């Protein structure tokens, strides 16, 4: 059995990671940390786990050795602890942003601070199996992708690989639920302010643009909108394909690149309520659903992707990477199909 610990287990992503890990047949969770809630039972913050665990939150300073360390800390925090984390485990999966970018100068540009461990950046593999499966099987250090970046990269990757896109002017309109902001209250998350919103909170200059450019070489402008959901991301991406590309060619590209991917589904139906990807039916799942529509009168192609930001966008991606690192079946612990209706 693989002995793992979770650093930062009181947040939403850490709780989702704990939920999946507790049900994984090859994993034993040794410790879960929280500085704010040390000594308290984990189910105090994650009541859905009642009866599944008697773990209590420990301090980071009391971490014991484990086979694998998951890190789920706010952006900018894990790099300050990383040298100490390496003393407790030889393998690390970081769910945060600190080690996603391989160039410290780009990190500084987007996060407005110098990286504390620039020499470690290139040791981390970006955590998307659909792009880096071979490297993840040999990896010791993994940095999971940002949730918005994950939805956008997976939507565009086959089109990039098959060289179908005219690269200029790609815009991703991303609508996202409140859990992506974490569980620390703020004026923006106060219920009277958050309820019912369609709030544009990052019309330009979204940090995840740097990951997208690094991973698929595209300059994608992101406009992010907070919506009245707890979970879920819907990315509607406006692109132009090269002259002569037909809708059947787009179909062919997705089928070719994703034909053996266990968590990618192409959703483009002519009838029914869910003709295109819909985040609601993905709650709790590790799937990324992708659809598209090409204009009949122009080269405009709209690509639509949906994920649960806490699963495929964070914790499920981490477990999928772990499965590859240790030679487990890639889908192990991630086979929940979602619920309908909900």
Query: What local confidence, expressed as pLDDT, does residue 29 receive?
Result: 98
In this structure, are 117 and 257 located in the same domain?
Answer: no
∠ at Cα 255 (253, 259), nearest 5°? 135
Burial of 82-110, coded b for 16+ CB within 10 Å and e otherwise, reads: beebbebbebbbbbbbbbbbeebebbeeb
pLDDT surpasses 90 at 81 = yes
Residue 338, in any domain of the structure? no
Burial of 261-282, coded b for 16+ CB within 10 Å and e otherwise, reads: ebbbebbbeeeeeeebbbbbbb
pLDDT surpasses 80 at 166 = yes
The three-class DSSP label of residue 198 is strand
Which one is predicted more confidently, 253 or 190? 253
In this structure, are 291 and 206 located in the same domain?
Answer: yes
Query: What local confidence, expressed as pLDDT, does residue 184 receive?
Result: 78
Query: What local confidence, expressed as pLDDT, does residue 234 receive?
Result: 98
Q: How confident is the model at residue 169 (pLDDT cuts 50, 70, 90)?
A: confident
Residue 284, in any domain of the structure? yes
Residue 287, in any domain of the structure? yes
pLDDT surpasses 90 at 130 = yes
pLDDT in tens, 85-126: 999 999 999 999 999 999 999 999 999 999 999 999 999 999
**Host domain of residue 233:** 147-309
Residue 89, in any domain of the structure? yes
In this structure, are 109 and 165 located in the same domain?
Answer: no
In this structure, are 48 and 160 located in the same domain?
Answer: no
In this structure, are 301 and 154 located in the same domain?
Answer: yes
Asked if 312 and 288 count as a contact pair (C-beta separation under 8 A), the reply is yes
- In this prediction, residues 229-233 reach a mean pLDDT of 95
∠ at Cα 181 (178, 183), nearest 5°? 90
CATH classification of the domain holding 89: 3.40.50.720
- In this prediction, residues 135-152 reach a mean pLDDT of 98
In this structure, are 263 and 169 located in the same domain?
Answer: yes
Residue 214, in any domain of the structure? yes
Residue 160, in any domain of the structure? yes
In this structure, are 157 and 287 located in the same domain?
Answer: yes
Mean pLDDT of the chain: 96
Residue 141, in any domain of the structure? no
Query: What local confidence, expressed as pLDDT, does residue 313 receive?
Result: 98
Closest CA to 32 of 98, 24, 40: 40
pLDDT surpasses 90 at 21 = yes
Residue 331, in any domain of the structure? no
pLDDT surpasses 80 at 160 = yes
- Strand-pairing partners, residue 302, are 238, 293
CATH classification of the domain holding 169: 3.30.360.10
Q: How confident is the model at residue 334 (pLDDT cuts 50, 70, 90)?
A: very high
Q: What's the total number of domains in the chain?
A: 2
In this structure, are 229 and 115 located in the same domain?
Answer: no
The residues that are catalytic are 147
- In this prediction, residues 264-293 reach a mean pLDDT of 96
pLDDT in tens, 292-312: 999 998 999 999 999 999 999
In this structure, are 112 and 230 located in the same domain?
Answer: no
- In this prediction, residues 29-45 reach a mean pLDDT of 97
**For 194-203, 219-228, 310-319, 327-336, which range has the lowest pLDDT when averaged over its residues?**
194-203
In this structure, are 68 and 163 located in the same domain?
Answer: no
- In this prediction, residues 188-198 reach a mean pLDDT of 85
d(CA 118, CA 236): 34
**For 43-57, 128-142, 156-170, 307-321, which range has the lowest pLDDT when averaged over its residues?**
156-170
In this structure, are 177 and 51 located in the same domain?
Answer: no
In this structure, are 182 and 242 located in the same domain?
Answer: yes
pTM of the model: 0.97
Query: What local confidence, expressed as pLDDT, does residue 197 receive?
Result: 86
**For 187-191, 233-237, 317-321, which range has the lowest pLDDT when averaged over its residues?**
187-191
Closest CA to 2 of 331, 319, 262: 319
Query: What local confidence, expressed as pLDDT, does residue 186 receive?
Result: 82
């Amino acid at each position: 059995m693989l002995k793992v610990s979770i650093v930062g287990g009181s947040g939403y992503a850490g709780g989702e990671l704990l939920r999946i890990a507790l049900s994984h047949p090859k994993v034993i969770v040794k410790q879960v940390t929280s500085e704010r809630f040390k000594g308290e039972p984990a189910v105090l913050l994650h009541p859905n786990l009642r009866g599944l665990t008697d773990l209590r939150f420990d301090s980071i300073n009391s971490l014991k050795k484990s086979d694998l360390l998951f890190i789920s800390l706010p952006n900018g925090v894990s790099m300050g602890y990383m040298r100490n984390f390496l003393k407790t485990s030889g393998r690390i999966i970081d769910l945060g942003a600190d080690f996603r970018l391989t160039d410290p100068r780009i990190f500084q540009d987007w996060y407005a601070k110098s990286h504390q461990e620039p020499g470690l950046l290139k040791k981390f593999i970006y955590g998307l199996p659909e792009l880096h499966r071979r490297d993840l099987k040999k990896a010791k250090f993994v940095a999971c992708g940002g949730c918005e970046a994950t939805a956008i990269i997976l939507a565009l990757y086959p089109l990039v690989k098959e060289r179908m896109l005219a690269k200029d002017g790609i815009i991703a309109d991303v609508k996202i639920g409140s859990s992506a902001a974490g569980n620390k209250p703020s004026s923006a998350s106060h219920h009277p302010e958050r309820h019912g919103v369609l709030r544009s909170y990052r019309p330009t200059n979204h940090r995840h643009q740097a990951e997208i450019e690094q991973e698929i070489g595209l300059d994608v402008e992101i406009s992010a909108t907070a919506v009245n959901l707890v979970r879920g991301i819907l990315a509607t991406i406006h692109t132009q394909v090269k002259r002569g590309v037909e809708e059947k060619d787009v179909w062919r590209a997705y089928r070719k690149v994703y034909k053996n991917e266990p968590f990618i589904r192409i959703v483009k139906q002519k009838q029914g309520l869910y003709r295109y990807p819909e985040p609601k039916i993905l709650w709790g799942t590790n799937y990324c659903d992708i659809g598209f529509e090409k204009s009949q009168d122009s080269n405009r192609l709209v690509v639509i992707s949906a994920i649960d930001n806490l699963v495929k966008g964070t914790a499920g991606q981490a477990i999928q990477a772990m499965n590859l690192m240790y030679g487990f079946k890639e889908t192990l612990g991630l086979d929940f199909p979602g619920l309908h209706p909900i």
